[in-house]
């Protein structure tokens, strides 16, 4: 996709944008809160009624029928589950000047172009909930200037060269709940040994989040930090070696490959 110059809508107060969300669930809500806090005019659909009502009450979002959301917005976030798009998008009338932001995993750009015609300005990205507080890297394919104007610098935009590369980033995002699941296993083990499961959850979470927040972000930092801990004769080395010999890394690699294949539109 060609990149086009982008600036916030000069017709809106203070140059802010009119932004609409189609689909208003756990993916959309943090973005709405982030953007509303920065003064953007937000419209959301009635899907996930409890979420949309809370966004209206607490953040001034306008709740409306889907076509009305489209008509009153210049930037459209598509936050539907992939199996919902054929039930929702074909009945809508898009404008040629709509800028489309898709956060729907595995929906190819040519599919978006067909369903959202005559709109032709697209970007696909991968937000996670902590975008609301900043620090969420946004892998993006397409017109990344839209995302940079709305979410950076709090959330760094990471342009990728192809949809294949974007789908690989989607797979890595899916790794997060897998890692949380492993952490929960560790916290449960700790709680069994201390008889204090609440403190075990806190300690495990704080230990990992604190360590990661203090880490460098350069290439090689993950391996460097691992090797600094897992030195000869240490329990850290025992942990890393046991996870490898018992197949944890093979299982992760297998899961990433399977998810990548699932997201590949050509498969």
Annotate 33-45 with b (16+ C-beta within 10 A) or e (fewer): bbbbeeebbbbbb
pLDDT at 266: 67
Determine the Cα–Cα distance for residues 103 and 21; give it in Å rounded to an integer: 11
Residues 6+ apart with CB under 8 A from 14: 39
- Provide the pLDDT for residue 265: 64
Q: How many CA atoms lie within 13 A of 73 on its CB side?
A: 31
Q: Where are any strands of DSSP class E within the chain? A: 18-22, 41-45, 62-64, 75-78, 99-102, 121-125, 138-142, 157-159
Distance CA 89, CA 77 (A): 12
In 3-state terms, what secondary structure has residue 94?
A: coil
Q: What is the pLDDT of residues 45-63, one digit of tens each?
A: 887 677 777 887 777 788 8
Q: Which residues contact 178 (CB under 8 A, 6 or more apart)?
A: 252, 255
Residue matched to tokens 């950076």: 152
- How many Å apart are CA 46 and CA 63, to the nearest integer? 6
| Chain position carrying tokens 């009624």 | 49
How open is the CA angle 79-80-84, to the nearest 5 degrees? 170
pLDDT for residue 263:
84
- Structure confidence at residue 12 (pLDDT): 42
Q: Which has the closest alpha carbon to 34: 144, 170, 157, 128?
A: 128
Percent of the chain whose predicted confidence (pLDDT) is above 90: 72
Determine the pLDDT at residue 53.
79
DSSP, collapsed to helix, strand or coil, labels residue 66 as: helix
- Which positions of the chain have pLDDT values less than 70? 1-15, 48, 265-267
Please state, in angstroms and rounded to a whole number, the distance separating the CA atoms of residues 44 and 55. 9
The pTM (predicted TM-score) of the whole model is: 0.82
Burial class (CB in 10 A: 0-12, 13-18, 19+), 250: exposed
């Amino acid at each position: 996709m060609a990149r086009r110059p982008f600036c916030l809508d000069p017709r809106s107060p203070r140059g802010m944008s009119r932004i609409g969300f189609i689909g208003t669930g756990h993916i959309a809500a943090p973005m709405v809160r982030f953007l509303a806090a920065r003064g953007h005019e937000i419209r959301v659909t009635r899907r996930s009624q409890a979420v949309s009502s809370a966004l209206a009450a607490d953040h001034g979002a306008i709740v409306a029928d889907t076509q009305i959301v489209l008509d009153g917005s210049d930037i459209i976030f598509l936050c539907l589950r992939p199996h919902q798009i054929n039930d929702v998008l074909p009945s809508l009338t898009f404008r040629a000047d709509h800028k489309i932001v898709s956060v729907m995993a595995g929906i190819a750009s040519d599919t978006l172009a067909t369903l959202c015609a005559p709109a032709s300005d697209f970007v696909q990205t991968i937000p996670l909930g902590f975008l609301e507080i900043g620090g969420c890297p946004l892998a993006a394919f397409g017109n990344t200037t839209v995302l940079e104007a709305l979410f950076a610098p709090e959330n760094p935009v990471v342009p990728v060269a192809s949809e294949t590369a974007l789908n690989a980033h989607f797979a890595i995002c899916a790794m997060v709940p897998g890692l949380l699941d492993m952490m929960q296993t560790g916290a449960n083990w700790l709680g069994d040994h201390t008889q204090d499961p609440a403190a075990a959850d806190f300690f495990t979470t704080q230990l990992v989040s604190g360590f990661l927040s203090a880490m460098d972000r350069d290439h090689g930092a993950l391996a460097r930090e691992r090797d600094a801990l897992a030195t000869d004769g240490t329990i850290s080395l025992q942990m890393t070696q046991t996870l490898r010999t018992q197949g944890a890394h093979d299982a992760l690699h297998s899961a990433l490959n399977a998810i990548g294949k699932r997201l590949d539109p050509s498969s």
